[in-house]
Amino acid sequence: MKTKKDKKEGDGLIRLNKYISDAGYCSRRKADELIAAGVVKVNGRIIIDLGTKIATDANVTVNGDPIFCTQHYKYIVLNKPKDYITTTSDERGRKTVMELVNVQTRVFPVGRLDRNTTGVLFFTNDGELANRLMHPKYHIERIYVAGLDKPIDLRDAQKIAEGVELDDGKTAPCEVFVNPKDHTEVTVALTEGKNREVRRMFEAFGYDVKKLHRRFFANLSVSGMQRGDFRYLERKEILELKKIVGMR
């Protein structure tokens, strides 16, 4: 019979061979062979005990190759449409992005897109990854395409690239590309996440953003996806995402 102490110590833990198997790396039997061979590390330490249990958020490598258990963590990208707010619930009864990501596992949006902004929105239940993606020190790139109410003056585009003084501080320098065939279409690549930053930068120079689409967030895009569609990230996308924030 398990004691209360045993139960507490077992909460949230998973056998290492099951973790490796659930990650799709190999069978449990093969995982045992790899562990016994000394090629499996957990949080930087070689593990050879076949009965070892680990936390589901542990850093596991096999022959130096980082793996993760997708059974426990979910990584999803949504092509957000207009008229949905980026929150898990809304007291005013407005439509939220959670209505579009219909999965059994509880996930949450990483960062925000305002109601009328479309494009890449990332969801996960991996708290460590989410926190790093939002931390300013990692300079996560976000690329937006803005449709303006009038052609932009190239001198204004240069000033936006150099940084704009807003009521909550000056924006960091960013890259601005004006479509040579249509000066109402401007692409902005930035690494900050200020509230409504892109819209406010243009508004500071008298431009109204009629359309705003986030084309990239870090290495993620919604190329080929319809508005409102979501998909699970591929293994290589997750590994690259974790690499960007130093998790491998």
Dump pLDDT digits (tens) for 115-165.
Answer: 999 999 999 988 888 999 999 899 999 999 999 999 999 999 999 999 999
State residue 66's pLDDT score: 78
Q: What are phi and psi of 28, to 5 degrees?
A: -60, -40
The rounded distance, in Å, linking the Cα atoms of 161 and 215 is 18
CATH topology of domain 4-67: 3.10.290
Could you tell me which residues come within 8 angstroms of residue 97 by beta carbon, excluding any fewer than 6 positions away? 78, 80, 84, 85, 86, 87, 109, 121
Decide if pLDDT at 11 tops 60: no
The pLDDT value given to residue 2: 36
Mean pLDDT of 205-232: 96
* Domain extents in the chain: 4-67, 73-138+219-248, 141-217
Mean pLDDT over 101-124 rounds to 91
Contacts of 88 (CB under 8 A, 6+ apart): 96, 98, 108, 109
Query: What does the alpha-carbon distance between residue 164 and residue 241 come to, in Å, rounded to a whole number?
Result: 29
Helix ranges, the chain (H): 4-10, 16-22, 28-36, 127-134, 154-162, 197-203, 235-244
Average of per-residue pLDDT across 223-244 = 92
> What is the pLDDT at residue 52?
92
Check whether 4 has a pLDDT greater than 60: no
Q: Assess whether pLDDT exceeds 70 at residue 102.
A: yes
How confident is the model at residue 110, as a pLDDT?
A: 94
Average pLDDT along the chain? 89
Whether the pTM exceeds 0.85: the reply is no
* pLDDT digits 0-9 by tens, 38-50: 999 999 899 999 9
Active-site residues, by number, are 114
Per the rule left: phi > 0, alpha: psi between -120 and 50, beta: everything else, 111 is left
The residues, any chain, with a CB within 8 Å of residue 217's CB and separated by 6 or more, are: 111, 120, 121, 122, 140, 141, 142
Give the residue among 215, 210, 82, 216 at the shortest CA–CA distance from 151. 210
Token readout for 221 is: 């895009």
- With a cut of 70, say whether residue 32 has pLDDT above it: yes
Position 12 scores a pLDDT of 67
Query: Who has greater pLDDT, 2 or 90?
Result: 90
pLDDT higher than 80, residue 71:
no
User: Could you say which architecture CATH assigns to the domain 73-138+219-248?
Assistant: 2-Layer Sandwich (3.30)
Describe the strand order of the beta sheet including 60-62 as a list of residue ranges. Answer: 45-46, 40-42, 60-62, 65-67
Report the CATH architecture of 141-217.
2-Layer Sandwich (3.30)
Cα–Cα dist 38/66, whole Å: 15
Q: What are the Cα distances from residue 108, in Å, to 9, 88, 89, 201, 219?
A: 27, 7, 11, 28, 19
- For residue 11, with 0-12 CB atoms within 10 Å meaning exposed, 13-18 middle and 19 or more buried, which class applies? exposed
Q: Is 109 exposed, middle or buried (0-12, 13-18, 19+ CB in 10 A)?
A: buried
